């Protein structure tokens, strides 16, 4: 079940990343061009790494585990923007979805046989 979840969520990162990069390319004079291109490329490559990790979840569990913290960074960043009135309504969806995905990634990888929270933090796969 975790394998399918990681595969699907990783695969969905790829078109989101491509759309992010396309948004930057449509208006290349935008002040956020570099950030959008970087975020888009990151999403594509992170998605590809997640899809790749599903081929051997035990060995590549740290990739999934650490991707959860990337998603939690997005959640924390948006929540930080809320009191200042900088968050847009669509970003609340990011908080909900990425927060849930991060929880599944962390809990799922820690429950793999032979895995531990600190072992995954140190890049050690499940035995």
Q: What pLDDT is stored for residue 73 in this prediction? A: 95
pLDDT (tens place) for every residue of the chain, 127 residues total: 999 999 999 999 999 999 999 999 998 877 889 989 999 999 999 999 999 999 999 999 999 999 999 999 999 999 999 888 888 888 888 899 999 999 999 999 999 999 999 999 999 988 7
Q: What pLDDT is stored for residue 15 in this prediction? A: 97
The distance of Cα 120 from the centroid of its chain, to the nearest Å, equals: 16
Q: What pLDDT is stored for residue 90 in this prediction? A: 86
Rounded CA-CA distance 20/53 in Å is 23
Rounded CA-CA distance 127/125 in Å is 6
Q: What pLDDT is stored for residue 100 in this prediction? A: 97
Host H or E run for residue 17? helix 2-26
- A 10 A CB-CB count for 10 gives 21
Total-model pTM: 0.89
- Answer whether 43's CB lies under 8 Å from 20's CB: yes
Domain edges within the chain: 2-121
């Amino acid at each position: 079940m975790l394998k399918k979840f990681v595969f699907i969520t990783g695969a969905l990162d790829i078109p989101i990343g491509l759309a992010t990069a396309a948004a930057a390319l449509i208006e290349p004079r935008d002040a956020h061009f570099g950030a959008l291109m970087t975020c888009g490329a990151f999403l594509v490559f992170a998605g590809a790494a997640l899809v790749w990790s599903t081929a051997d979840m035990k060995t590549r569990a740290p990739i999934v585990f650490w991707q959860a913290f990337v998603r939690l960074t997005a959640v924390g960043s948006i929540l930080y923007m809320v009191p200042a009135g900088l968050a847009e309504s669509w970003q609340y969806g990011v908080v909900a979805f990425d927060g849930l995905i991060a929880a599944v990634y962390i809990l799922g990888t820690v429950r793999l046989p032979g895995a531990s929270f600190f072992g995954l933090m140190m890049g050690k796969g499940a035995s």
